[in-house]
Chain A
Amino acid sequence: MATATSARPARWNKKEARALLTGLAFISPAIIGFLAFAAWPIYRSFYYSFTDFNILQPPYFVGMQNYVDLLKDRVYGIAVANTLYMVLIGLPVHLIFDFFMALLLATQLRGLSIYRTIFYLPSITPVVAAAIVWMWLFNGQYGILNEILGRFGIPHVGWLTDPRFTKPSLIFMGMWFGGNTIIIYLAGLRDVPVSLLEAAELDGANALSKTWHVTLPMISPVIFYTLIINVIGYFQYFTEAWVLTATRDGAVGGPLNSMLFYAMYLYQTAFQQLNMGYASAQAWILFAIVLVASGVLFRSSGWVYYRSEE
């Protein structure tokens, strides 16, 4: 970057050149960081993805072999399916729930700060500690959740042991971590001009149509932001499931691999099997998926309404 611009300084006068140098000096940590922790590793992982590489020996070029192997890898397929489950089901459930809670909180409840604290606090608790607490809540025999269900005559659920329930359990647990999104939505809702809502009210709009026709469009940029950030985040879903399923002997994924997610399988491939080439191919497919997913979201973002600058 710096060399490319200083190669043709004639186009700028002295003042501009100075500004450029000053600017680059200030952002130099970012330039180094970008090159060392983003650009170079991206390039290297692309290269590794075409090699057989176990760290101990130098990478050995194998062409498309890793990618071909991935197509046939059944466990990889399970990890992909589980991850898509979280993105396509878990994420909408979470965002809709968070939005709904924010709507309720935005009705100007008294004691709002207490509610806000209650909903926000879990989202900053250390994931590992919280997941261990949930393990206890989910415990099949002595867990309080099954105890409560039992009181209503509902038979015990294998929250973390029955493959039919494991992912819904994770989504259920994930709702507990969603407080920061609630706060983001709440802040967005409070920015919706009251005059607009009043105008709609005078036109005879009820609460539902006010929400649909005024509130939703007004905070659609916020929804879009949380959507993008969470789609990217859910594709990397890792810690919760890892903590809930990792056993002493290093196995992860839970019963029938029903909680094996993309990032977990990638971690195992790279750091437990030291199969760096194969893991890099996985990383690049993930990269491609995330790029395509965000591209699709951006392209279909016609529903996002941007207020003109005030």
Chain B
Amino acid sequence: MSFLEVKDLYLYYRTRKGMLHAVDDVSFSVGKGEALALIGESGCGKSSLARCLIRLLPRNVEVFNGHIYLNGTDLMRLSDEDFRKMIRWRKISMVPQAALNSLNPVIKVGEQVAEPLLIHGAASREEALEKVRKMFSLVGIPEAFMERYPFELSGGMRQRAMIAMALIMDPEVVILDEPTSALDVLTQANIMNMLKKIKREYGVTFILITHDVSVSSELADKVAVMYGGQIVELSEADDFYKASLHPYSQKLMASIPSLREEKNLEYIPGSPVSLINPPRGCRFADRCPYRMEKCSSDPPLITINKSYVKCWLYAK
């Protein structure tokens, strides 16, 4: 079994308009020290999937079951309290989306980054601040900034601080939810450099959630494409960026402008499928250029070498 293995995960929310199928039968595995990129557009369920892994769910959850195996242990069987004490932030941590606004504006940055340690009682105050010092040097924040308030930091600095906070308890898995989407190109490159270094030197397992396919290639060993709450393709990076399998992945790749080469851009007509009361059968069918009769029933997961794809085109 892989280091992190997710099997048959479901997450449904109850809403006024109906049942929202945020995560609809998702399975994937990630090796230790590997990075998995979870690619998808807005409303495909990728943020919900991240929240499943760290179990930060809102109140209107209707269905939440499946298996999340971390090093052999099924995390889904832990009680909420046990999960909080043993897993969250200790084993699995997260840099949330729009992290720039996740810092408490009235607490100094150094204090905040130390908080997880102090809350879990894992260190004394001096030890915690020392750890923060180490972390800041790792992520590239000058030590002096420990005494500053969040508004005194630039966007890039704040993001680095959030990453430091996610790493402070030396977790095994770090989830990055759109880590660079609000940042400039240069800052983005710097942060990706930093993450690459951390991955190499500390063997952290990353799950990178993004809608930016180009950015995903900066870190990914494996790529999973999400659409309509489901993973429609899971491939090795080497295979994916050259030639993806699922029609949605292909269309997505074809819609990305390239800086270095002349490219005929294509777009996908229509809009992403709604997660509320999704249609039967393949969820991409009504936007797919290869639609067939069969697509009105739910396609199976078909394994091809080290990848799998959820599409009738590949069925024998």
Whether A and B are associated in the same complex: the answer reads no
